[in-house]
Chains A and B, each alone.
Chain A
Amino acid sequence: MADGTATVERQPRPAPPVAPGSRARAVPSRRRVGRTLRTGLVKLVVYLAVLPLAGFIMLPFIWMLSSSFKPIGSGIRFPPEFIPRVWVFTNYPLVFDTIPFFLYLRNSLIVTGGVIVGELLSTSIVAYSFARLRYPGKNFFFVVLLATMMIPFPVTMVPTFVLFNLIHWVDTYLPLIVPAFFAPAFAVFLLRQFFMTINRELDDAAKVDGCNEFRILFQILLPLSKPALTTVAIFSFTANWNDFLGPLIYLSSAKKFTLALGINYLRSFRGGGDLAPQMAAAVMFSAPCIILFFLAQRYFVQGIVTTGLKG
């Protein structure tokens, strides 16, 4: 990071004025050449600043991947190897032998799948309400919705646990899934912003043709909102896939763990809990999110920008 702060001052400072005599003679406009050279120099400085930072970002990924192919016991070897001297492919099967990986995968898919279904269904309806219908108090409710995004999770964490404990939902997936069926604020906001950009005349035309609100929502707005729905779905996927505190609070029996808990659980074993298999598990755990990100990059960016800038 010392690297980063140092370059703060370096970058925006204008590159020193360049007036190369020899080059300028060849081309009629001296000024233009100076300019291209200058932008070239600026670009060079930009690369010099940004590439080490990008290296800092990539390092843990490379470390995770390469270490997953190192032999057991590499965690206490010096000097550390960037590229394994001996390639070992047994760490991955070792993870499967140590923890019920595929069971945890299934559990994670149940939770994330349930959440995505619930969130898409409920937020579409509520976002439609906020974007299209007129009724007293709507703006007030919308402000309340925005305010709830600022409420930290810990404030509601304890009583919500007490509530779910009361109805015997602890150690089931219901506390993790059911709240998603009640329109989480972030997703409502994102979808509402998107609905607002869709031309209202489409609704009106459908209304004239005798469509009711539900048909307008499901047959007109939602098919047009695939990008926004995708954004909601992938954010919800990564958030719940990575969620640790929620499952930690609600899931107590080891066979119900999600992958996030399971990977942490792996550490408690001998052999399989060694650093190299840990990295193999970490690779398998983060791979779906990374692949999803590469497939759907523009939805990620769009989602961040919509909720970030228009908030």
Chain B
Amino acid sequence: MTVAASAGGDRRRRRRLGAGRREALVGYLTLSPWAVGFLLFTLGPMVASLWFSLSEYKVIQPPRWIGLANYQRMFSDDLFYRSLKVTVTYTFTSVPLGILAALLVAVLLNQNIRGARLLRTIFYLPSVISGVAVALVFAWILNHRFGILNYIIGLAGIQGPDWLGRQQWALWAFVLMSLWGIGGNMIILLAGLQGVPASLHEAAEIDGAGSWRRFQSITIPMISPVILFVSIMSVIGSFQTFTQAYIMTGGGPAYATLFYLLYLYRNAFSWFEMGYASALAWVLFAIILVCTLLGLRVSSSWVHYEGG
């Protein structure tokens, strides 16, 4: 700490520089738990994953470099295409429908109605128990002969389909299930709606704008950043659907619900194809990245940022 070499009397300056250094030292020290974790559990594994993806690796023997063979293998892998198709179809139906439904519920709950708090609680409730319990309950509800859903549909005189047993229906059963879990997005959108200044609505009302017009021209632009955010997060989450498919259908019938992550999981942990699984993971990452960037790019035409 011999920073201030000048003659005495400059102790204050020396101390301040020392304090800056000390703060930096403490800063790096307090940052280190994250930094070490980042290296051990994120960056390190990512580098390793890239290396595995270029290798043949079946755990028992060390990885053997095979270049791009794993990626080439995907081109001729029918199940890869199927799982990708299942996941993409699911994502691009369940996410838009889910956000539309979440927005609808948020708008409804944003009206000044009695019991809005209780209703908000009800809509969020499914989000706290996602996973195994949900899968088990829905497996029974969706049962085509003894489930309550087809019974209710039957009351209207319609013969409900064999939701989980037929190729053309199974994925739609998952979409329906995903709509049950819109609560998280709904809460974010509701907070967004509550952040729209009332003065804007009042001004528009004085100008004679009806409520639909105000919704279109004020509400939607004002919450568009929030809509963009929940869309991106939902797409990322949706590409990683796993538990429901693992428990309810195991990917069937005839691979109709073979979600990408389920296929990846089987490659890695049932068949110990760690190299191929890593390549699949990187393709998934690339797809998610492209979707996110594309979403951000397209969004600039419709997302409105305050003061920018």
Per-residue CB proximity of A68-94 to B under 8 Å, as 1/0?
A: 000000011111101000000000000
- Check if A4 sits within 8 Å of B101, measured CB to CB: yes
**Contact with A245, one of B20, B28, B108, B242 (Cβ below 8 angstroms):** B242
- Check if B59 sits within 8 Å of A165, measured CB to CB: yes
| The stretch of B70-78, B187-195, B196-204 that contacts the partner chain | B187-195
**Contact with A145, one of B34, B45, B124, B141 (Cβ below 8 angstroms):** B34
Q: Which residues A50-67 have CB closer than 8 A to chain B?
A: 50, 53-54, 56-61, 63-64, 67
Knowing A159-B45, A160-B41, the reply to whether A285 touches B132 (Cβ < 8 A) is yes
With a cutoff of 8 Å between Cβ atoms, the chain B residues found around residue A158 in the complex are 45, 49, 52, 268, 274, 277-278, 281
Q: Which residues A288-311 have CB closer than 8 A to chain B?
A: 289-290, 292-294, 297, 300-301, 304-305, 308-309, 311
- Check if A4 sits within 8 Å of B104, measured CB to CB: yes
Per-residue CB proximity of A174-218 to B under 8 Å, as 1/0?
A: 000001011111001000000000000000000000000100000
Interface assignment of A141: CB less than 8 Å from any CB of chain B: yes
A238 to B184 CA separation, bound complex (whole angstroms): 14
A7 to B292 CA separation, bound complex (whole angstroms): 30
Interface assignment of B212: CB less than 8 Å from any CB of chain A: yes
Knowing A148-B42, A264-B247, the reply to whether A182 touches B36 (Cβ < 8 A) is yes
Interface size bracket, A side: 35 or more
Dominant SS among interface residues on chain A: helix
Residue of chain B at shortest CB distance from A259 = B132
Residue of chain B at shortest CB distance from A305 = B191
- Check if A156 sits within 8 Å of B212, measured CB to CB: no
Knowing A57-B122, A304-B187, the reply to whether A11 touches B148 (Cβ < 8 A) is no
By the criterion of a CB under 8 Å from any partner CB, how many residues of chain B are at the interface?
A: 101
Residue of chain B at shortest CB distance from A297 = B121
Knowing A154-B261, A158-B52, the reply to whether A148 touches B38 (Cβ < 8 A) is yes
Per-residue CB proximity of B263-289 to A under 8 Å, as 1/0?
A: 011001100001001101110110010
- Check if A245 sits within 8 Å of B137, measured CB to CB: no
CB distance from B47 to the nearest CB of A (A): 8
A289 to B136 CA separation, bound complex (whole angstroms): 17
Interface assignment of B37: CB less than 8 Å from any CB of chain A: yes
Interface assignment of B17: CB less than 8 Å from any CB of chain A: no
A311 to B191 CA separation, bound complex (whole angstroms): 14
A23 to B300 CA separation, bound complex (whole angstroms): 50
A50 to B115 CA separation, bound complex (whole angstroms): 11
Q: Which residues A255-277 have CB closer than 8 A to chain B?
A: 260, 263-264, 267, 275
25 CB-based A-B contacts, threshold 8 Å: A12-B107, A13-B211, A57-B122, A63-B148, A80-B146, A129-B34, A133-B30, A141-B35, A152-B281, A152-B284, A155-B282, A156-B41, A161-B269, A183-B37, A213-B30, A248-B246, A263-B132, A275-B140, A278-B140, A293-B124, A301-B124, A305-B187, A308-B226, A309-B188, A309-B229
Query: Other CB < 8 Å A-B pairs besides A60-B180, A294-B121, 13 of them?
Result: A8-B100, A59-B141, A60-B134, A78-B146, A141-B31, A152-B240, A154-B240, A154-B261, A154-B280, A163-B45, A182-B38, A275-B140, A279-B140
Residues of A within 8 A of B (CB): 1, 4-5, 7-8, 11-14, 42-43, 46-47, 49-50, 53-54, 56-61, 63-64, 67, 75-80, 82, 122, 125-126, 128-130, 133-136, 138, 141, 144-145, 148, 150-163, 165, 179, 181-185, 188, 213, 238, 242-245, 248-249, 260, 263-264, 267, 275, 278-279, 281-282, 285-286, 289-290, 292-294, 297, 300-301, 304-305, 308-309, 311
